[in-house]
Amino acid sequence: MSEVFAVEHPLIDHHLTVLRDENTSPALFRQQIRRLATLLAYTATSDLPTTSKAIRTPMTQMVGSELSVRVAIVPILRAGLGMVEPLQELLPEAEVWHLGMYRDERTATPVEYYCKLPQGGACDIGFVLDPMLATGGSVISALETLARWGCPDLRVLSIIAARPGVERLTREFPQVKIYVAAVDPELNEHKFIVPGLGDAGDRIFNTPPSN
């Protein structure tokens, strides 16, 4: 069974409320995405393995720690791009690979149009970034691609998830860890999260809603 971490913190509650508000400007919306992604990433990286490293400070010698794994940050285009910068701030040595998908509005299923992963030499840990986990289709497609690549430890970071999407993801990828700021109860007839926040990609990039 997948581990689902609904990260609880007063700052998450505050920033999430601003994010959901339909009156929040695109500029502030982007800032809130970055803030929430940082808070999620702090939890999602709490168990990364390290090895000892001997260093010398200006005062003396000591033994510290450094990460001992190869990490990949994998945003799902386009909305996932809004979460990349906070992860890079915490993991400056991480690789960034991109998966492009769009939602078929007739079927609400993902269609892959771009995949930029290296041949062979998979990462040790892959963080899949998508602000909205609605039906779970796009995230599951990304996880399938990363699993074929050979990444053994896959983790999903989403700002808001819908309960049906979480349940589907845990069924199909029981080994994956899921980190979210909130789990909303349902999807509407158009497969949008309710209460949700609308279309994250449109709000991040200040584009009109797709019809």
Question: First CA to last CA across the chain, in angstroms?
Answer: 36
Looking at 20, 34, 199, 203, which residue is catalytic?
Answer: 199
202 is catalytic: yes
107 is catalytic: yes
Written in H, E and C, the secondary structure of the chain is: CCEEEECCCHHHHHHHHHHHCCCCCHHHHHHHHHHHHHHHHHHHCCCCCEEEEEEECCCCEEEEEEECCCEEEEEEECHHHHHHHHHHHHCCCCEECEEEEEEECCCCEEEEEEEECCCCCCCCEEEEECCEECCCHHHHHHHHHHHHHCCCEEEEEEEEEEHHHHHHHHHHCCCCEEEEEEEECEECCCCCEECCCCCHHHHHHCCCCCC
As given in the structure block, the two tokens for residue 126 are 């892959």
103 is catalytic: yes
Torsion of CA 177, 187, 144, 90, to 10 degrees: -40
Looking at 17, 107, 171, 207, which residue is catalytic?
Answer: 107
Looking at 43, 78, 124, 202, which residue is catalytic?
Answer: 202
Looking at 103, 130, 145, 184, which residue is catalytic?
Answer: 103
Catalytic residues: 103, 107, 199, 202
